[in-house]
Structure 1
Amino acid sequence: MPRTESTMFKYICLLAFSLLPMQAAAADPAEGRWKTIDDETGQAKSIVEITQGANGTLSGRIVELLAPSRPNPACDKCKDDRKGKPITGMEIIRGMKPDGDAYSGGTILKPDEGKVYKSKMELLEGGGKLEVSGCVAFICKSQVWVRQ
């Protein structure tokens, strides 16, 4: 039984649509690699990779230390599950949620102090920079990170 052109077209369309992902998750604009800049010295300190979890929250992990004070430093001052673990590879941003054009509700760890702060983030300059703040009560300190 010969196939008609319309039947062939249907098979081609079906094949094309079956090759597409069922549901492509949109990447969050804050996802990617960021060079952290020390707010006091202005020097680049590390590269942090921000990713979005299945639940929609963002987390950030140090993937490279640019000028470590010693080889393979660990978070000796940490008081949680990160205590004594290597800083390279460590998750320092946890539970950050989109909040309009910014992010909030998460925490950030400052490994050299071992302290965890409430955090918020905001994309700047069309997504080329990220302002990251760590807060205690109403006092916040910010750094501006640069997209890699």
Structure 2
Amino acid sequence: MMPRLALFCAPMLVALSLGGVAAHAAEPVAGRWVTAEKDGVILIAPCGKAVCGTIDRFLVPPPEGPDQRDINNPDAKLRNRKLLGLPILTGFVADGELWRGRIYDPKSGRTYRSVIRRKGANVLEVKGCIGPFCQTQVWKKVS
């Protein structure tokens, strides 16, 4: 009788112990964030089923002023887009504690794989990667 009870209880105990481990969800990243270089504010908000970020405001005017265009874009058809309002974070979806998507750098015209995560109430860690090589920046919440 005891071995049968042990066989019945063991799977239940395993299921209960696994159920007690909560999966960590990615913290919300929506809001206005000052870039690491302190030259602009990025507005992060939902866009469809994902989260995206656009250039909301310049803190340091670009060389051509507030009407600056996306002149470094490798796609000639996109070079006439204004930087103000330009999407630079696209397709971010929650993946555990992180958000994964793509980041566009208008200064270089390059797009990178990206991971973002909250590091407290007022800090956002933004990582851009090419292959195994990544660079991390810290953005601060606009107060």
- TM (norm. structure 1) is 0.71
CA distance in 1, matches of 2:81, 2:104: 13
Equivalent of 1:103, from 93, 99, 104? Answer: 99
**Post-superposition CA distance 1:3-62 (Å, at most 9, x none):** xxxxxxxxxxxxxxxxxxxxxxxxx72011001112xxxxx110000011231x110000
The Cα of 1:84 is off from its aligned counterpart by 2.3
Report the equivalent of 2:40: 46
Counterpart of 1:119 in 2: which secondary structure? strand
**Post-superposition CA distance 1:105-144 (Å, at most 9, x none):** x11011010110111101002x311010110001011110
1:62 and 2:55 correspond: yes
Report the equivalent of 1:74: 69
Report the equivalent of 1:83: 79
Equivalent of 2:141, from 112, 130, 147? Answer: 147
Counterpart of 1:88 in 2: which secondary structure? coil
1:78–1:84 contact (8 Å) kept in structure 2? no
1:82–1:90 contact (8 Å) kept in structure 2? no
Residues 50 and 82 of structure 1: CA distance in aligned 2, closer, same or farther (over 3 Å): farther
Unaligned runs of 5+ in 1: 1-27, 39-43
Q: CA RMSD in A?
A: 1.5
Structure holding more helix per residue? 2
Displacement over 6 Å in runs of 4+: none
In structure 2, give the amino acid aligned to 1:146: K
Relative contact order, higher structure (CA 8 A, sep 6+)? 2
CA distance in 2, matches of 1:48, 1:89: 9
CA distance in 1, matches of 2:46, 2:132: 27
Report the equivalent of 2:16: none
Unaligned runs of 5+ in 2: 1-26
Counterpart of 1:103 in 2: which secondary structure? strand
CA distance in 1, matches of 2:113, 2:29: 18
